[in-house]
Amino acid sequence: MASALFLQLIATFSFLLSSCFAGPLSLQSRAVSSSDYDKLSRFEQFAAAAYCPGNSNVASGGKKLTCAAGNCPSVEAADVETVYEFQNSLATDVTGYIAVDKTNGLTVLAFRGSKSVRNFITDVQFPTVATDLCNGCKVSQGFWTSWLEARDGVLAALKTTAASYPSSKVVVVGHSLGGAIADLATAEIKKGGTPADLYTFGAPRIGGATTSSFISNQGLGNIYRTTHKNDPVPRLPPVPLGFVHISPEYYITSPNGVTPTAADITRYSGSINLLGNTGSNPLQLDISAHGWYFNAIGACGGSDFEFRK
């Protein structure tokens, strides 16, 4: 209960002060197209697959991507095979995979989220550090350290994969902490000149206005930052500490345990969206909402993946 109260206090404080940041606010919104809906649903399943231990435990890959929890049926129905897997890095436990989807012509880089939301909230490092993404791009120290641990291996594997599958489109996905790392990975991939689409689910804020603007306006691919009503993680780190989101946001309003329809999702532009996750029901926090997007996204995490107040 103490951790839930702590979350409520900082999320409420963040909301109240966010109204003072007139510049980044945005009320631009639109309904989600059927095409975008299909893509959100499909790539949420790739993010879910990152929680399944069997998809990240053999560096050389070569395995069909599967989900023992049964929460990635469209991925399993396609011809998808891992080409690079990584797990349990020394400092940050960054874990994930690169897989080639031969059915849909995709190369998917996926990062696993933290296995315990309570641990994530306790361990998140709010102080920012300078990065080499852009002049003035500062990022949460913990997120940046995680990306640095994975960076060399991931970029080398993507280069090798591109040589074997030159027409394959790069897509980067992640849930929770994995979404934060996916933000940074996508920014670096695009900075190197490779187009990439980004799909995150329940990702926290990673940096300030300069970082947000840089990533949001890079081009070379689309951004689908997806949030769920009352999910507390996208409200962290707090706005008063200088953190804002990348844009746009795809905001899901359907309840836990129900697969959303296109009508349940609204797209908002801007780095502080008071009609999206940040401002809607600021006094309501539901950790269970973090574990449900199009399905139980962390179900493969087993008993260690807990969403408890």
Query: Catalytic positions, please?
Result: 176, 231, 290
Backbone φ/ψ region at 202: left (φ over 0), alpha (ψ -120 to 50), beta: left
Give the SS3 label for residue 179.
helix
E strand map for the chain: 29-31, 80-86, 96-101, 106-111, 128-130, 138-140, 169-175, 196-201, 223-228, 249-252, 265-268
Q: Which two tokens stand for residue 103?
A: 């059915």
Closest of 163, 56, 140 to residue 99, by C-alpha: 56
- Contacting residues for 175 by C-beta, under 8 A, at least 6 apart: 44, 47, 48, 50, 51, 112, 113, 200, 201, 202, 203, 293, 297, 298
C-beta separation of 239 from 273 below 8 A? no
Backbone φ/ψ region at 219: left (φ over 0), alpha (ψ -120 to 50), beta: left
CA distances in angstroms from 233 to 21, 260, 276, 282, 288, listed in the order given: 20, 19, 13, 12, 11
C-beta separation of 252 from 226 below 8 A? yes
